[in-house]
Structure 1
Amino acid sequence: MAAGLAGVCLALAAATAAPVQVPATRFTLAWTHSIEKTRWEEDYAIQRTAQGLRLLALDARIRGSGAGMEPPAGAVLRDGWYVYRPSTPSLEELRLTRSPFTADYDWCVDGRCRPLQDLLPADGGVTRLWPCEVRAQPGR
């Protein structure tokens, strides 16, 4: 049987509702540091392996530096951004803490960003994000 369409599933950790499915094989998660007000961005790809779908961290950027948020060794300052390749192994899941006291994550695909809230409203707790097979969208 042919592999399905890879994408991302999102669900609130405290909820039992079905996950939101997003057809995207590459995306960026971005946020603003709550104290330093500095933008962070991480690029991910969905990777199909013998063990199943995995998240692969491709590149990351920090717009400046500040207390407790020094760029990792090997980061290069380019146009005001510290750019580096994360040393994180491929992941089964990301767990995103979404506080009502800070701005939400941005979800970016093909250079277009929107608040993660547009895909899945936050509950003030943890949101799970993992690679999954998504159902084909009607009309596509």
Structure 2
Amino acid sequence: MSYDVEKTDAEWRAELSPLEYSVLREAATEPPFSGALTDTKTEGVYSCRACGAEIFTSAEKFDSGSGWPSFFDPKESDAVELAEDRSHGVLQTEVRCARCGSHLGHVFSGEGFPTPSDQRYCINSASLSLRPE
């Protein structure tokens, strides 16, 4: 797949920390309750740490108790791409940055959270940067 931002593996490694690279480029998951953005209440815009694309805002963030930042919708519908993920032996929906293809996390539906979309975008803190408003 072709993205607006494409870099070599060496360029990504040079720009990202080992954890960021593992999550964003190798689709790893950070341990629950370990990310800096999990419990933040700061208002602002959450961007892809790899390319800077705006992905979520604090208006869509909610406390799911899952141990990862949770959002009920992306900032713009075309900010993310969704892909089938069977890497853990079950069918999940992976969330990727639509601008650079970096792994952000997964989206789950029908969990009963009182949100407008009934979805939980479960996103790794290591994949996001927060720009306060």
TM-score tier, shorter chain, comes to under 0.3
Higher CA-based Rg:
1
Q: Which has the higher helix share?
A: 2
Higher relative contact order (CA 8 A, sep 6+): 1
